[in-house]
Structure 1
Amino acid sequence: MAAGRGHVTEGDSGEQMGSPKVIILLSVVIGVLFAAGGCTSPGVPGGGSPQTEQESSAAPGGLAPGGSVLPDTGLGRAEGVTLQASVDTSRVTVGDPITYILTLTRPAASEAIIPAPDSALGKFEVRKWEQLPEEVLADGRVTDGRECVLSCFEIGEQEIPPLEIGLISVAGETTALRTLPVPIVVQRISPADAEEIKDIKELIYPPRRFPLRQVLIGLLAVGLAAGAVLSFRRRGLFAPQEEGPAPPSLPPHEIAYHDLERIAGLDLVERGLYKAYYTEVSEVIRRYIGGRYGIATMELTTGELLASMRQIEVEREHIVLFGQFLARCDLVKFAKFLPPREEMKAEVHRARELVDATRVVEPGPEPEALEVASSSRSGEVQA
């Protein structure tokens, strides 16, 4: 019995020796199930999906949803010059006001020509145009600004067109700067705000009457005037007079001196007629340039005039002097810039000094010629 138990024990021991095969098989099955169960991957801690993590980190530029960015219309940064046009809103209802601000940062020694637009700027109606206070920056540059209120009555995507300004450097070089177009979306008035459109009423015409009385009075006046002319002719009052010899022509600088003296006597600055004053003075200098250099100046802009002077090789120093003077006049005429009163009064003296510096030295004219020229210009516009 003891030997039999020992045999049985040996057989049980043999079965136990075969159990590692079962364990290995179970380990393989469990490993397969474990891999198919979607357990955590070593490359993705926490069991998160790589797809989800990539989408969550793909924020475009860090902008919040629904963010609105107005177009950057900056232009030109050469030599510390920047020009920027901006609006307070890029989406309006038809007819609503749009505030359009133009900002120019320039060196303090330069001069800017910012013309005011006419009644319209492209498809936008100009309702107000005013100059903003000038500011001096910490680096010494100067900031000029203009504020314009616009309205548009055309629905859809519109553009405020580019606005061109001029910049005159210390050397007299004129540079044209242009803003970028600013997009504006003009929307319809919502039906809740719209009013009912009423029919156009018919025109009411006044009763037509033949103006017999007015016709008779007119015929009588014409008859009296014709009789008076015939009577004066018979008496020799309207006899044609013989024309004498033409007065000798004056040099351009003498004509300019006389015209400047006439303008000084009009007291336009004291009467508050600043634009008329600067218009008169600038036209005198333009006529002088035309006579002095043989250029048709009255129909040219200041930039075109200076370019024409460069083409005929006028001295560079003279071009700089003329450019700075005409630029100051343009600021008052077109940009509504108002310098101090004493500085405005001195423009006539500056114009005379400009003529003195650029005139051609010739023998003086006869006194009679100057008197004839004075009488011929005495009937010019009195503001």
Structure 2
Amino acid sequence: MLKMRRILTLIMLLLGLGGLLLADVNIVQSLENDNDLSVGDRFYFHLRAEYPLNRVVVPDTLTNFKVIKVERITEAGLPAHFKLTIVPLLPGYHSFPSLQVQPVDSGNPIAYTDRFRLNIVPVRAESDTTLVDIKAPLKYPWQSPGWLYILAVGLLLVLVLLFFWLGRKKSVPEPIKPVEVPEPKLPNWKKSLQKLLDLQARDLLSKDMVIQHHYELSWILREFIMHEYRIAALEMTTFEIRVAINRVGILKSDEVIRFLAFCDMAKFAKHKPSLEETKAMEDWLKSYLLAFEVIEAQKLLNRPPGETDAANR
């Protein structure tokens, strides 16, 4: 047991001597602002020698401290020396390792700094788990205050809501257009019959407008022939109409020509027919037009049931 104690004492002495041998007596080191340090506080490590220093080697294994700046200072009349800016990262007692210091002149030896130990005071209680920034956030140039961004977002939301509200208010539904129901197409005979009744209602004969009355009477029949048989009767003479209707073969062609000739005599030959004659011709025209109503009804009866329903629709 006594031998073991002697061996341990010898080992401790050897380690102490090794530390003294590693420390360079030419290096003068000093600390600045190293009292009551907390995590994030800065302190300074000064390194001087009797000869100019060229470089300080900071090990990559440094974990409890952060060397944020290494300054090589040259002053007139003094050899170049170093100033290291260091920040502790963790609370508690921590040792700062030895650093290698290289001289400018290779004739001077490479030296090593002494280790030193610092007590880093915690910035909060151990039970406090709230994260606290070590340092206030940096502001870049022309940075706007935070409230300005909140105001801009609020204005944007107001504009968007206003846009949708006004757009919905202005949108008026289009009025429903009434469906235009086409008027039923009247057959040609019914149109001509209505014109005949209108002419009789005007009573031109009582106003001594014989020529005008017979001119319009002839016009009604000519217009009917044009629409019913596709003959340009309005542009033809009575003789030309005779030729055309004989070729086509219309209903009661002889009586049609007789009617037109009667009207021509009243229009061009200065023949003034009696009221009874004119009345008889009007009755003939009316019966002639009504005959086509019978023909139309017979055509509907002769059609198949499907075609009849389609025609009625």
In which range does the TM-score fall when normalised by the shorter chain?
0.3 to 0.5
Look at both structures and tell me which one has the larger radius of gyration over its CA atoms: 2
Q: TM-score, normalised by structure 2?
A: 0.36
Q: TM-score, normalised by structure 1?
A: 0.30
Q: Which one has more relative contact order, counting CA pairs under 8 Å at least 6 apart?
A: 1
- More helix by proportion, 1 or 2? 2
